[in-house]
Structures are given as C-alpha cells and as structure tokens.
Amino acid sequence: MRILHTSDWHIGRTFHGNSTMDALAEVLATLVEQVRENSVDVVIVAGDVFDSATPAGPAYTLLGETLLALHDAGARVIVTSGNHDSAARLGFQAGLLREGIHVLTDPLAVGEPVTISDEAGPVHFYGIPYLEPAIVRRHWRGVALKTQAQTMAHAMGLVRTGMGTHEGRSVAIAHCFAAGVDATVGLEREVRQGGLDVVPLEVFDGPDYVALGHIHGRQAISDRVRYAGAPLHYSFGEQHKERGSWLIDLDASGLASIQWLALPVPRRLVTLTGTLDEIRSAENVAEHADDWVCAVYTDALPQAEPMRRLKEHFPHCAMVQHTPASVHETKKHSYSARLKTAVTDTDRIEAFLEHVRAGQGPSERESELIREVLDERVLAEALV
C-alpha cells in the first residue's frame, strides 16, 4: 500500500498580512498530481487543516475541492483535526462526505480504525484528533490527563488495544510535539507549556508508521515516526526548510520504504542583511525583486520610512527590522543616573541622544547646533 503523509495546511492563514489562499491552492493542486502520478492509495492529513477555529467561506471551498480532487485521483483520504482546527466545524459534515474520505475528530473513536485493504490484507489507520487535556479528560475519568504527554500516552494505549483486536498492519496519526523535534521558534504554538507537553518517543511504539503533524518542517524522529511539515512557508524562520510530503510504502510485513516528494515554492523567502543602501543594491534587486523579503538593516540610526523605500525595489517586502551592526557597550550608569550627574544642559542633551541612539552621541555638526541653540537661549534670557 502506498501512503502520502502531509499535514498543517493552515488554510486561511495570512503571511504578514498577505493572503496565502492562491499560493496554497497552487501547491495543493501539485500535491493532487503527485498522488495521481505515484498511484497513491491513501492520503493522510495530520491536523491543522484550517488556520482558525472559525475559517472563512473560501477556506471551506478550497478544502472541499482538494479532498474531492484527491479522491478523484484514486486515493482514499484520512483527515484529523489539529490544535488550530475546531473539531466540531471540521467534522460536522464527515457523515456527508463521499465514501473514501474520512474526517476523524471524535476523541471517543480513537481506538476504532479506518480499515483499508490491499492485496496483502488490511491496513488499520488510527486517527487521533488533537486532544486538549482540560476538555477530553471528562471522557476518560480516573485517568491522569493533565498534560499533552499523558493524554497522548492514553490515546496511544487505546490504539494499541485496537491493534490487539484488529490483526494486520497499522498506521497512527497524531498532532503534537514529540521528543527530539526541532520546532520553529515562535511559530508552532499552543500545544506545549515548558517541557511538560513533549511526548516521549516510546509513546508511539506499536504501529508500523506514525504520521505526525504540528511541526512545519519535515523531520524524522525515527524511521517510523515522522513529521511531513507544512506545504507552504508561513514565516521567515521556515525559509530554509523544504516543503513536501512523505511517500510511504507498506508491504506484507510492514514498513518497506519511505521517500520525500518535494513541493514547489510559489514565492521564495529571503532575508537580506546590510545597510539600507546595501540591501537596495542593484544586485539584490535583480535577484530578489519577486521574492518575499525580510530586510534587516544595520545602519547605526533608524532610517525614515524604510518599508516604503524598500517596497519601491522589492514589491513583496513583508518585514523590516533595524539591527545596528555595532551595539554600544553597556554604560556604567543608566540614563536616569547620567541625568542626575549631568552638570550642564549640553551634558543632558548628549545623554539623551546616546540613550535613544543606542550609544551614539551627537555628531560634530549636531554639537555645533546644540551650542548655538543653548547660546541663543542664554542670550535671550539675559535680555529679559
């Protein structure tokens, strides 16, 4: 049996205020073609189908069209909910979907597989929707479910119980942080608090393959426990991570082979660093005019209207950061302490300029202007 493992579509997500709907539709259309070209039997979507618990209408349209296209390409489809999804909204039409499209959002059905057979016999797919401990513990009274790790351990226990009564090969699908994963800082959120919600690898013992979602970059936690990542880049922190899916082959004895199927990147992401003038060089403009750009300019002082000036050369500049190349050494005294010890108005102005300019005091010309203004004030006061 041939399985395609994808996850974290995040339909409806924006990228620095820009819609990603058209780009995602383009990538998912390529994924459908890969399913057809590789004769995929089953497509797994391991959670975070939507980016919001209340997606807009076009998000439902794209999901429905993609699920039908995958089915028409010859694949059965199994979808689980993630922490961004509303299980109720994602699963409300599950019973109305075309045969061969399964949306699994019910915690009480964790141990009940979707069974699909090939010439070697049945393969049992156990979908674990995202399980929030505070919400699902009422379903399993008497079980300690305070963390994601405990909840996932209990769910996988139910899966292994199901495996005991359903002979054949098995695949588990879940949405969580697994121990050893390399997350994108500030992006994959809301599933762990500190280290309590990291799920130990041994929790996933049993199935022939475990398809995980939540992490946006592909990762192999072990040969049989993997993340496929998101089909689009959703932050500049992901810009160097490949986009794609895992293609898994099961033979009669279990996991036979795994290969990576890359997906296209509709618009590249690039981070350009240097002074504002260096970033806007002709070489950079020629190479990156069509890219999403994060500009990190290193001028000593903040520049006027940097985003507007950058967009004149990079229409898709999405982010600007000011990071001076040289950061001044921490002064022995704080700004308030320097003000207390300042003797003259010149001392006070210089202290202020150094404070707001990250350690850079007035230039020679600015010092002349300061002296002229202060002298004029003294003269004006003398004439009163």
Amino acid 333: pLDDT: 57
The residues pairing with 15 across neighbouring beta strands, listed in sequence order, are 18
Task: Give percent of the chain above pLDDT 70.
Answer: 89
Of 59, 60, 58, 77, the residue nearest 68 (C-alpha): 77
Residue-level pLDDT at 184:
62
Q: Which residues contact 333 (CB under 8 A, 6 or more apart)?
A: 341
Longest dimension (CA), the chain: 104
Report pLDDT for 372: 81
d(CA 362, CA 366): 5
Q: Do 178 and 212 form a contact (C-beta atoms < 8 A)?
A: yes
Question: What gap in Å lies between CA 148 and CA 181, rounded to an integer?
Answer: 15
Distance of alpha carbon 80 from alpha carbon 41, whole angstroms: 17
Average confidence (pLDDT) over 43-51 = 95
CA-based radius of gyration for the chain: 28
Q: Is 126 in a helix, a strand, or coil?
A: strand
Domains identified in the chain and CATH numbers:
2-262 (3.60.21.10), 269-322 (no CATH), 335-383 (no CATH)
Contact 279, 297 (CB under 8 A): yes
* pLDDT tens, position by position, 95-131: 657 789 999 999 999 999 999 999 999 999 999 999 8
Phi, psi of 382 (to 5 degrees): -70, -25
Query: CA-to-CA distance for 149 and 151, rounded, in angstroms?
Result: 6
**What per-residue string of b and e applies to 190-216 under the rule 16 or more CB within 10 Å gives b?**
ebbeeeebbbeeebbebbbbbbbbbbb
Tokens matching residue 31: 């994924």
**pLDDT tens per residue across span 285-333:** 999 999 999 999 999 889 999 999 999 999 999 999 999 876 554 454 5
**Mean per-residue pLDDT over the chain, rounded:** 89
Cα–Cα dist 147/199, whole Å? 9
pTM beyond cutoff 0.75: yes
What is the per-residue pLDDT for 225? 97
Region 174-202: mean pLDDT is: 70
pLDDT (tens digit, 9 = 90+) per residue, 334-357?
Answer: 667 767 776 678 878 888 887 777
CA 262/CA 281 separation, integer angstroms: 32
Lowest mean pLDDT among 28-37, 69-78, 181-190: 181-190
Burial-class residue 145 by CB neighbours within 10 Å (0-12, 13-18, 19+): buried
Cα 239 to Cα 380: distance, rounded to the nearest angstrom: 60
